[in-house]
Amino acid sequence: MPKRSDIHSILVLGAGPIVIGQACEFDYSGTQAIKALREEGYRIILVNSNPATIMTDPSLADRTYIEPLDVPTVSEIIARERPDALLPTVGGQTALNLAMDLHRAGVLEQYNVQMLGANVDAIATAEDRELFKQAMDRIGLQSARSGIARSLEEALELVKATGFPSIIRPSFTLGGAGGGIAYNAEDFRRIVEEGLKLSPIGELLIEESLLGWKEYELELMRDSAGNGVVVCSIENFDPMGVHTGDSITVAPAMTLSDREYQRLRDMGLAVMEVVGVATGGSNVQFAINPHDGRVIVIEMNPRVSRSSALASKATGFPIAKIAAKLAVGYTLPELPNDITKSTPASFEPALDYVVVKIPRWNFEKFPGSQPVLGTAMKSVGEAMAMGRTFTEALQKALRSLENGRMGWGADGSQPVPQERLRELLITPTPQRIFAMRTAFDLGWTVDQIHELTKIDYWFLDQLASLIALEKELRQYDLATIPAELLLQAKRNGYSDPQLAYLLNANAAEVRQQRLGHGIKPTYHHVDTCAAEFPAQTPYLYSSYETESEANPSDRRKVMILGGGPNRIGQGLEFDYCCCHAVFALRELGYETIMVNCNPETVSTDYDTADRLYFEPLTLEDVLNIVDVEQPSGVLLQFGGQTPLKLAKGLEAAGVPLWGTSPAAIDRAEDRGQFGEVLAECGLRATPYGSATSWDEARAIAERIGYPTMVRPSYVLGGQGMAIIHDQAGLDDYLRHITEASPEHPVLLDRFLEDATELDVDAVADGETVVIAGMMEQIERAGIHSGDSACVMPTVGIKPEVVEQLKRATDKLARALGVVGLMNVQFAVKNDEIYVLEVNPRASRSIPYVAKASGVAWAALAAKVMAGVTLKQQGISSAPELRGFHVKEVVLPWRRFPGATIALGPEMRSTGEAMGSGDSFGAAFAKAQAGCGRSLPTSGAIFVSVNDHDKPALVPVAKQYSELGFKVIATAGTAQYLREQGLKVESIYKVNEGRPNAADYIINGQVDIIVNTPLGRASLFDEQAIRQTALRQGVISITTVASAAAVADAIQALREGGLGVRALQD
C-alpha cells in the first residue's frame, strides 16, 4: 500500500527531559521518525520540552514547540496547528501516556486527530497488566502467576498465592520505578506501600518470582498488511531479577536452539497481533526456565523503546524510521533496506558478530542508596560494543564504559574484597561482572559461580576461556610472546593496556610490538545480512580478522569523537554538539567520520555522519581508526570530557587536532597555570589552593577561610565536590576522597556564600570572540550549574556587570587561545566578578543556548575549527533574545531510596526542560511544567529568609497574599512581615519544636517554599526543609528573585495560560 494521502500533517510527541529509564534513545528514534515522515512530504509538528535534543532543532520539524508535554499545552498546540494525525510511539512512555490522556480528555476527538502506529485499545492492552494477561491467555501463552492489588491488604492476600520471593511492579511507571523484589513480608509491605504511591493509578502487580530464569527480548515490526518480522533477538547475560535496562545484554540470542528461537518468534508475532498493534515496532520480553524450557511472557511495549534503539544499532535496521513509514501506510515489502540499498526492509537481519551492551551507573553520586540491581532501573546510560565473538565484544564494551577499566580485568584494577565475594556474586550489583573475575582468579569453578549467579554456563565458559588464555599469556613477556598468541589475545578483545599489564610492558610498547608483527584491527560492516550482500552504508566495527573492509576514501575528512556512554553530567547535550559538528563539516564539504560507542544517540545513527565507527573511545581504539582513515583533523571539543582526556595521547601520536590546543586545555584546567592566565587578564578567582597532602589541605583551608569548596582535580559534573564548613568536615572529606583517587591533587576554593553564579558560553576563532549566551543561575550559589535552574537573559545582574562579564569572557578566550567553544563559570557578589572555572570545550548548556538564541553555536564552532572564521561566517554577536528562557532540571531521587536528598556542588540531575515566555515568570512556570511539575495556583506559601533578603521579600509576599495564598513563616520572617502589615501565620523551625515546617510540608499544608540561605547556623534546618520538599514534590525556591518570578507565573497561569510559541514563529 502506498503512503496515506488522507493525512497531511502529523503531530509528534517527544519524551521530555531525560530521566532514568527514558533517555536520549528517544531523541534518536524521534529524530529518525521526523526525518522519515518529512521525506514523505508530511508537515510535522513536534512538541518536546527538552531543548538538548536534536529533534527540537528548528530545521528538523516544520513546527517545533519546546513546550510542556501536558494536556493543556498540547491541546492548545493542536488547536493552533490542527494536525490530522498524532504519532505517539516514538516518545517513550511519556508520549504514550500523554496520548492516552489527550484521548481521555476528548481532545483528539474534538479536533479529529487520528492516532498512528498504536491505537488506544492496543496501548491499553499492552499497558494494563490484567488486560495483557487476558490477551496472553487468549493465545495460549503463559504469564507469571500474578494479581493486581490496589491496596496493601489486597497485596497481602495475593502474595499468599504467588509466594516469596515476590515481584512487585507498579502500573504505568517508567523503567519499573517503585518496583522491587521482596524476600519477606516486611520488605513486601515497604515496597508495596511505596509502589502504590508511585503508580499514577495507585495499582500494582504482585507476581510469582522467576528469579534465575533466562531472559530474552525480541524486537519486532509489523505492517498494516499483517507482515511481521523479528529485527533482533537479545539475550540477557544477567538472569531474571535484574531490570533489562540494568542487565548486560547480548545480541543475537546465544543459547537458544532454532526450535526454541522460532517458538519465541511465533509467540512474539502473535503477541503483537493479539495486543492489536496495527503497525510499527514493539518489543516482547520472555523468561525461559533453564531446566525445562517453559516460556513466560513478561511484557510488551507497543512502541519504539530503549531496546529498539539498541536493536537498531546492533543490526543496522532503523526501527524508528521504518515504524514511521509503516504508520503512514507503507508496508514492509515496499521499503528498501538502507544498508544494502538492493534488498527490501522486509527481512530479518542476520548477524555474523556479537553485540554486548553494558549499562553505566552513577550510584556513587547518591550516597546512602544501595547499589543493588533489581526490577527498577537505575542505570543512567549504556555502552555497546561489537566484536566477531562474545569475548571480544564483552571486553570492548567494558572498556567503552570509561570507568577506568580496560576490559574484563587484567588491567591492574583492584579485585573485589574477598570477604564480600559470595555476596557480590549472589546480589546483582554493578560490580558483579568484576566479582566474577575475582572469583575466577581465586580459582573458583564455573559451577560454583553459576550456583551463586545463575548466569548461563555458556557465558561463564566464555569468561573461563579468557582466564585460560591469560594463563598462557603470562608465561611470556613482550619480547618473547609469539605473534600468534598476541593475535589470539587481540581476537579475544584484549586492549593494549591489558596486554601491557599481562606482559609487564607499557601500552605504547605493546602497540609498537603488535604493529611490528602486522597485528592491526580489521574493520567490518554492520551490513544486516552477514556479508550475503554488499553494504553501501559505511557503518563499521573493529575486530582482528584477515581482511579489512574499511575502504577509506581519499576525500578531505574530519573525525569527530563522541561522548561515550551517558552519565550524569555528560549526556544528550554532547551528542547534540557532535551531531551539529557533523552537519557543519558536511556542509563545508568534508567527509565526516563519527566515533562513538553509545547506542542511544543520534550521532551513532548510520546516516548522521558519512562514516560511523562504533568503537570504544580509548586512545588505542581511536588511534587505530586514525591509522586507517588519516583524517585532516580530529575534533575533541564536542564529546564532553571523554575525548578531551585523549588530547595529549593523540597529540603525542602526531594526530592533527583541530581547535583549542591541548596546551591551552591544560592551561585552563591546571589551577597554577590558570592563575597566571587570570592575572594576565586582570581577573580574580576566589582564593584557592591545590593540595597534595592532608596537611597542605588544612593549611590552605585556614589561609583561604571557610566555607571552602573542595574537589578532586579533573572532574566531570562536580563529582566528589563538596562545601566544607570546618576542619572536622575537611578531614572527613579527605578520608573519603583519598580512597577514591590517591594520586590526584585536591583543589580548595573559598566558597562565596550568597553570590549569584553565571554560566557564559562563547565561541572564539583566535580573532573574534562571540558571547553565545549568558545564563543566570536561579538556585543559590554552591549548587552545581547542571542542577540549577537558570535564565537567559540575566534578570538580577546590573547591566554594567553584564558588560564586565562579557569583557572578562572575551579576555579569557584570547588569553587561552580558544579556537571553538568555551564555557566560563562566574560568581558575582556585591557586583564583584569572580572566575570560578573555564572549560575550553562544548558545554552542557550549548543546546539550550542555541534553542534560546536561535543560533546553532556548535555548528558555528565546528566551522571555526575547520578554519572558517566567525567574520567569514558573518557572526559578530549573538542576536537579541526574544523573551525569557528558563532551563529547569529533573532529579532522580525516587530511583535512589535512602540517598541524601539535597542539591549541592555535585551534579545529580539527569535531564532538563526549557520554558520560554514573555516574562521571567511565564518562562519559569513553563520550565516547571516541562519537567512535569505544575505550579500551584492557590494554597499556602512558606517563607524563611535571611535578614538581607527581608526587605525584598515584602512586596513578593504581598503579591502571594493578593493571589489568595496563605503566608506561613518562621518566627523572624513572620515578625518582619507582620510589621510591614502582612497577615502571616508563624510556625516552628525544624529544630525548634513541633509541629514544625517539615511537618507542614509532609502534611501537604505547604505548596510553595521560599527559603534563602541563612548561613551556617540554620544549615540543618534548610536541608531538612529542602529534603522534605523534594521528597514531597513541593516547589522549593532559594532566592527572592525567583519567588517573585513564580508569583508572576502564577498570576499569568490564573489569567488564562501562558501561550505557546513555535521556534519557527
- By the criterion CB under 8 A, which residues form the site for other proteins? 139-140, 225-227, 229, 233, 252-263, 265-267, 269-270, 290-293, 331-333, 342-344, 346-354, 388-390, 456-458, 461, 524, 529-534, 545-547, 549
CB of 475 to other proteins, least distance (A): 16
Strand partners, 747: 690, 711
Could you tell me the smallest distance in angstroms from the CB atom of residue 278 to other proteins? 16
Alpha-carbon distance 225 to 51, whole Å? 37
Q: What are phi and psi of 515, to 5 degrees?
A: -65, -35
* Comparison of 261 and 988: residue with beta carbon closer to other proteins: 261
| CA distance linking residue 456 with residue 236, whole number of Å | 10
We find the least distance from the C-beta atom of residue 1000 to other proteins, in angstroms, to be: 58
Task: For the CB of residue 141, give the shortest distance to other proteins in the complex, in Å.
Answer: 9
Shortest spacing between CB 255 and other proteins, in angstroms = 5
For residue 535, how many other CB atoms are within 10 A of its CB?
22
Nearer to other proteins, 240 or 700 (CB): 240
**213 or 1000: whose CB is closer to other proteins?**
213
User: What residues have CB less than 8 Å from 454, skipping those under 6 apart?
Assistant: 211, 212, 239, 290
Cell 592566565 locates to 677
- Do the beta carbons of residue 197 and residue 169 sit within 8 Å? no
Of 389 and 741, the one with the shorter C-beta distance to other proteins is: 389
What are the angstrom distances between the C-alpha of 887 and each of 17, 148, 789, 849, 912?
Answer: 11, 39, 5, 10, 7
Which amino acid, 83? P
- C-alpha to C-alpha distance for 84 and 285, rounded to whole angstroms: 33
Smaller CB distance to other proteins: residue 243 or 265? Answer: 265
In the complex with other proteins, the residue whose CB is nearer, 260 or 837, is: 260
Q: Output 139 or 148, the one with its CB closest to other proteins.
A: 139
CB of 531 to other proteins, least distance (A): 4
**What distance in Å separates the CA atoms of residue 721 and residue 710, rounded to the nearest whole number?**
6
Lookup: cell for 3: 503512503
CB atoms within 10 A of CB 1061: 18
Running DSSP on this structure, what letter comes out for residue 202?
Answer: S
Q: Minimum CB separation from other proteins for residue 355, in Å?
A: 10
Query: What is the rounded distance in angstroms from the CA atom of residue 350 to the CA atom of residue 337?
Result: 13
Choose between 139 and 653: whose C-beta lies nearer to other proteins.
Answer: 139
**Long-range CB contacts for residues 263-266, cutoff 8 Å, separation at least 24:** 263/295, 264/216, 264/218, 264/233, 264/295, 265/218, 265/230
The minimum distance between CB 329 and other proteins, in angstroms, equals 13
* Shortest Å distance, C-beta 138 to other proteins: 11
Q: Which is nearer to other proteins, 476 or 694 (CB)?
A: 476
Phi/psi of residue 776, nearest 5 degrees: -100, 130
Smallest distance, other proteins to C-beta of residue 425, A: 18
The SS3 of residue 836 is: strand
- The CB-of-267 to other proteins minimum distance in angstroms stands at 6
Residue of 567, 619, 570, 568 whose CA lies nearest to 595: 619
834 exposure class (CB count in 10 Å sphere: 0-12, 13-18, 19+) = buried
- When the beta carbons of 76 and 348 are compared against other proteins, the nearer one is 348
With beta carbons less than 8 A apart as the criterion, state whether 607 and 536 touch: no
> Minimum distance from CB of 537 to other proteins (Å)?
16
Look-up: residue for cell 571539543?
637
DSSP letter at 1016 equals: G
Distance CA 913, CA 920 (A): 15
Q: How far apart are CA 846 and CA 397, in angstroms?
A: 29
Contact 99, 107 (CB under 8 A): no
Specify the residue, 484 or 985, whose C-beta has the smaller distance to other proteins: 484
What residues contact 1063, with CB distance under 8 A and at least 6 apart?
Answer: 56, 58, 64, 65, 66, 851, 854
Closer to other proteins by Cβ: residue 321 or 784: 321
Which 8-state DSSP code applies to residue 706? S
Q: 349 phi and psi, to 5 degrees?
A: -55, 140
Minimum CB distance to other proteins, residue 543 (Å): 8
To other proteins, the closest distance from the beta carbon of 669 in angstroms equals: 42
Closer to other proteins by Cβ: residue 292 or 695: 292
Minimum distance, C-beta of residue 226 to other proteins, in the bound complex (Å):
7
Q: How far is the CB of 473 from other proteins (least distance, A)?
A: 16
Based on CB atoms, which residue is closest to other proteins, 160 or 259?
Answer: 259
Name residues whose C-beta falls within 8 Å of residue 747's C-beta, 6 or more positions apart in sequence.
671, 688, 689, 690, 691, 710, 711, 712, 713
Three-state secondary structure along 710-753? EEECCCCCCCCCEEECCHHHHHHHHHHHHHHCCCCCEEEEECCC
- In three-state secondary structure terms, 703 is helix
Q: Angle 1024-1028-1034 (CA atoms, 0-180°, nearest 5)? A: 130
> Min. distance of Cβ 409 from other proteins in angstroms?
21
In the complex, what is the shortest distance from the CB of residue 265 to other proteins, in angstroms, rounded to a whole number? 6
Q: Give the integer Cα–Cα distance in Å for 1034 and 149.
A: 28
Please tell me the distance from the alpha carbon of residue 170 to that of residue 237, in angstroms, as a whole number: 25
- Of 211 and 225, CB closest to other proteins: 225
**Shortest CA distance to 253 belongs to which of 227, 280, 230?**
230
Nearer to other proteins, 312 or 756 (CB): 312
Residues found in the chain: 1065
* For other proteins, the closer CB: 238 or 456: 456
Secondary structure class of 428 (helix, strand, coil): coil
Distance CA 473, CA 478 (A): 10
The three three-digit cell numbers of residue 469, written as one number? 588464555
Q: Nearer Cβ to other proteins, position 164 or 457? A: 457
